[in-house]
Amino acid sequence: MTGWLRTLIPLVALASPLRAQTWPRTVPERTGYDSTSTAAQVGAFLDSLERAGAPLAVSVMGRSAYGRPLYLVIASDPPVTSPAEAAASGRLVVYLQGNIHAGEVEGKEAILELLRELATTRRGLLGKLVILAAPDYNPDGNDAFAPASINRSEQNGPPLVGRRADALNLDLNRDYFKAEAPETRGSLARVYDTWDPALMVDCHTTDGTLHGYLLTYAPPLEPIGPRGPTDYVRDSLLPAVQAAMQRDHREPVFVYGDVDDPLHPTTWDTYSPLGWYGTNYVGLRGRMAILSEAYAHADFRTRIRVTHDFLVEILEYAAAHAADIRRIERDADRRVAEQGLGVLPRPELAVEYRMVARDTEPVVLEEMRATGDTTPRGRRVPAPTGRFHTVDLPVRDRFVDSLSRPLPAGYFVPAGAGGVPELLALHGIQVERLRADWTDTVEVLDVAALAWQPREFQGHHLLAVSGGWARVVRTAPAGSYFVSTAQPLGRLVFALLEPEGWGLARWGLLDRLLGSEFGTYSGLVYGSSRVRDFPVWKALRAPRVPMRVLERER
């Protein structure tokens, strides 16, 4: 363990005249890594940093369901208080997020330590970066303390941790499309739409496959996002960070995954590509994102250390390659808008996916042995041996389309769509309302088959929509909404509004438009039904009538 984790760093040669003992210590540091911070202790730590003269400003992006503040820290030197000032300074904006799953606590503590270092030994990073941080993104879940055996049964300390969900019992890392939680709505309005960070890092803990890595990671996985930013994270940034973690810290890290069978593994598989997940969502916005998953079976102190080191290496890389990152993202914005406009060919984009391998590679796994027990499906229950071995496995870390649809010029959404237009605007998407009727050829999903899942997921019975597309002449009446794909968030528009995809229709947010005989908005009627003309139409071109831009929530 390096010395800065045990003691405070002397502030020799720093501009601040304050002595080392004025800088606060985190709860794990003060308790011998036996405890994690409450939401109030996170606030007190940030307040202490501010009062000690750290180059940061503590703001609030919103409040949780229980009214706890959602702290957003802006670390910058010289000070920056707005996106316009950040842009004028020429510095890249990076957003660090911890504790979205509130039992996974090392990201929260690592970010707090890093914020202290940005006032001391790592202050130089702020010459090239403006760093936003939400160390405790889920404060209600964080403070729902219970023994780890209940809230995080596979996690190696601390003894008491919070729970995964927020106070509304929502998994916040499945909420980025529907944005039902106050935490999600706060981050959309105050972080993504306001600051538009170039790079986001989301800190988690994995308790799946027993393997030989202290941390695993992933880029955005949604294949319909703009390729440039995601490819850069996957092919340039993450390999460089992985090499630095081994070279400079002797900490083994690898691409995120789980084996298909612990006793007889044949593949190493990543997680879902859906944009409901935070890092995938950021990829759909045309920005860079990284999933960080510390290894739950390592001890608490080690998990904080490796998460901290991973964040440092990412920030160092971003600072050194800021010009490249900015260029790639500006190019992605331009290409997405031009494809929606039709200046560039409109691509085919996935509504269903299949996982593929990058290569067969050596993967370090803990050896498992069979026990006499079996699962309900008849599989033998494995038990760890404490021995590790290397297995050559296909590393399936990305997705391609198995069913695709062409990107339209935009979508018509009828009036009476509940809060859907306002939700789109909250995402930062430009939504326009027709001031007059518009008649044109559009594409409609004709005789759509509708199938609601009988089991509830996150408070919803997910809806699968299928059918055949037909071109017909229709009139969108005045008061209807038009959502163009000719904007930098055009791929996010597709992900949210394409009826056969995994967007708002899947979550049932358009059920009220289907008629009570097909299913109600409150979710009282389920099963399979059919309906002519799904109520979201695809536009072949933008309407040529006066329109009014819907104001965004602030």
d(CA 244, CA 362): 19
Non-local (6+) Cβ contacts of 22 within 8 A are 52
pLDDT given for residue 70 in this prediction: 98
d(CA 83, CA 390): 47
Q: Which of 489, 475, 491, 480 is nearest to 550 (CA)?
A: 480
pLDDT in tens, 317-375: 999 999 999 999 999 999 999 999 999 999 999 999 999 999 999 999 999 999 878 77
pLDDT in tens, 461-498: 999 999 999 999 999 999 999 999 999 999 999 999 99
What pTM does this model have?
0.93
pLDDT in tens, 396-421: 999 999 999 999 999 999 998 889 99
Instruction: Report CA-CA distances (Å) from 242 to 287, 344, 349.
Output: 20, 36, 31
Segment 526-530 mean pLDDT: 49
pLDDT in tens, 118-164: 999 999 999 999 999 999 999 999 999 999 999 999 999 999 999 99
Q: Please state whether the peptide bond connecting residue 158 to the residue before it is cis, i.e. omega within 30 degrees of 0.
A: yes
Segment 217-232 mean pLDDT: 97
Q: Which of 350, 362, 356 is nearest to 398 (CA)?
A: 356
∠ CA 312-313-314, nearest 5°, is 90
Contact 102, 145 (CB under 8 A): no
pLDDT given for residue 15 in this prediction: 37
Instruction: Report CA-CA distances (Å) from 122 to 58, 91, 277.
Output: 19, 16, 30
Structure letter (DSSP) for residue 460: B
Distance of CA 20 to the CA centre of its chain: 36
d(CA 300, CA 295): 10
For the chain, domains (ranges, CATH) are: 3-341 (3.40.630.10), 353-400 (no CATH), 409-549 (no CATH)
d(CA 426, CA 175): 13
Segment 89-103 mean pLDDT: 98
What would the two tokens of residue 204 be?
A: 């988690």
Non-local (6+) Cβ contacts of 552 within 8 A are 189, 193, 425, 426, 428
Non-local (6+) Cβ contacts of 34 within 8 A are 28, 157, 158, 159
d(CA 535, CA 94): 39
pLDDT in tens, 232-285: 999 999 999 999 999 999 999 999 999 999 999 999 999 999 999 999 999 999
